[in-house]
Structure 1
């Protein structure tokens, strides 16, 4: 035999603690028939998705429920847990204000550390680019010096060869001149 439709207890809402980067809020209600519809809403009345929801039925056929919600947005301020009896069309609700200190605090050093590491990374990257450019410039100067040295060696060889040729031609000229003078 089913119990008559009935309104159970007003939901009890309390903060369980921090979880998954937010505040875990629990809502418990008992003595409902039929199984109540449970809903979380933010301070603007918009529906929120529960993290978990369980319903149990006791020996008298009355339902109890427990639902949890993880609030990550500090701007909500408060959340409301409501239980609704679909047969009677009636609802019982309880709101819970979530104070700012309950939200997990990010370390104030985290942004400073992130900015410092980014700046250090940019400084190292800039230094690497500067050193690479300097290395390339030195390599280019070294290459140009090597090319000039090779050109000087070639010019010296050409000059020596020209002097040898001039010397040989002068000797040949002197020999022919002497032979011409002797034949006169």
Structure 2
């Protein structure tokens, strides 16, 4: 028994075992380690030296396993929350600099939804790892998760910027309104 890649090269095995049951059936077990250079379907070849026959069974492995994006999936996804966190912290420090009377409690309540997102993300990723590679929809799950992370990141950034713009606009409007109201009361 031998495993071959799509170009016909033999894939070396890491372990191999044989056994035969009472009915005379031969049980073969082989463990192979696939690398990034393996592309396309993998074929298991059975050769019978007595009859000279060879049988082949092909297995199609999802291409996403061999893409560099999949191999470093976790390293890229961890950077997105840190980028978002740095933007939020920068905007909060800008607000603190402009507004003198902000308290630490306000900072905690404003960051609480983001901290909850960061806390739930590792739990979700643990459940996501349970999806079998042999599942027909594995590629769909992987692409869907990537797209969902990107969409959520863009939406969070958009709404965070929108909220800060509205806060600054309303603050200026309230200051103009209160200064106009105080000048009217002084005239009376």
Q: Could you state the TM-score of these two structures normalised by the residue count of structure 2?
A: 0.35
Q: Which has the higher contact order (CA 8 A, sep 6+)?
A: 1
Say which one has the larger Rg.
Answer: 1
* Higher relative helix content: 2
